[in-house]
Structure 1
Amino acid sequence: MKTKFHASHRRHIWKKLAGFCVFNTISLTLVAWIADAELTEAGPNAKETQQDACSRTSLDALNSCRTSAQSAYSLSLGNCDNIPDPAQREQCHQDAQAALQVALQTCQDQFVARQQLCGLLGGGPYNPVIDPANFGGPIDNPYFPLIPGRTLIYEAHTVDGIKRNTVTATHETVQILGVTCVQVHDVVYLNGERIEDTLDWFAQDHQGNVWYFGENTLEISNGLVVSTEGTFTSGVNGAKPGIIMETHPAVGDAYRQEFVLGTGEDSEQVVGLDKTVRVPYGTFDHCVEIKETTALEPTVIVHDFYAPGIGPVMSLESGERLELVQIVNE
Structure 2
Amino acid sequence: MIALAAAAVLLTALSACDAGDTAGSPTTSPVGQTGAEPPTGPTGAEPPPGGLTGKEFDPADFAEDSAIVDNRWLPLQPGMRYVFEGRAFDEGERIERRVVIVVTDLTKVIAGVRTLVTYDLDYNDGDLVESDIAFFAQDHAGNVWQLGEYPEEYEGKEIAKAPAWIHGVQGARAGLTMMAEPRLGTPSYAEGWGPAVGWNDRGRIRAMGEETCVPVDCYTDVLVIREFNRDEPGASQLKYYALGVGNVRVGWMGPNEQERERMVLVELRSLTPDELAEVRDAVLEQEARGYEIKKRVYGQTSPM
1:204 and 2:138 correspond: yes
Alignment of 1:60-79 (within 5 A): 60-61=41-42
Residues 304, 314 of structure 1: 8 Å contact kept = yes
Which of 259, 266, 269 aligns to 2:201? It is: 266
Q: Which runs of 5+ in 1 are unaligned?
A: 1-51, 65-113
Alignment of 1:1-330 (within 5 A): 58-61=39-42, 127-131=56-60, 133-134=62-63, 136-137=65-66, 138-158=68-88, 159-229=93-163, 231-253=164-186, 254-261=188-195, 263-317=198-252, 318=257, 319-330=260-271
TM-score, length-scaled by structure 1: 0.61
Greater relative contact order, per chain length (Cα 8 Å cut-off, separation 6+): 2
**CA distance in 1 between partners of 2:184 and 2:244 (Å):** 20
Spell out structure 1 runs of 4+ moving beyond 4 A.
none
Residues 100-133 of structure 1 show CA distances to partners (whole Å, capped at 9, x for unaligned) of xxxxxxxxxxxxxx9xxx9xx79x9863222165
Q: What residue is the counterpart of 2:18 in the other structure?
A: none
Q: Secondary structure at the match of 1:58?
A: coil
**CA distance in 1 between partners of 2:231 and 2:64 (Å):** 30
> Which one has the bigger helix percentage?
1
The Cα shift of 1:237 comes to 1.2
**CA distance in 1 between partners of 2:54 and 2:141 (Å):** 23
**CA distance in 2 between partners of 1:132 and 1:248 (Å):** 17
- RMSD of the alignment, in Å? 2.7
**CA distance in 2 between partners of 1:268 and 1:163 (Å):** 23
Q: What residue is the counterpart of 1:87 in the other structure?
A: none
Q: Which runs of 5+ in 2 are unaligned?
A: 1-33, 272-304
**CA distance in 2 between partners of 1:217 and 1:239 (Å):** 15
Shift in alpha-carbon separation, 1:157–1:277, aligned structure 2, 3 A: same
Residues 175-215 of structure 1 show CA distances to partners (whole Å, capped at 9, x for unaligned) of 00101100000110112210010001000011100011000
**CA distance in 1 between partners of 2:247 and 2:39 (Å):** 31
TM-score, length-scaled by structure 2: 0.66
**CA distance in 2 between partners of 1:125 and 1:246 (Å):** 14
Aligned length: 220
**CA distance in 1 between partners of 2:176 and 2:132 (Å):** 18
Q: Secondary structure at the match of 1:131?
A: helix
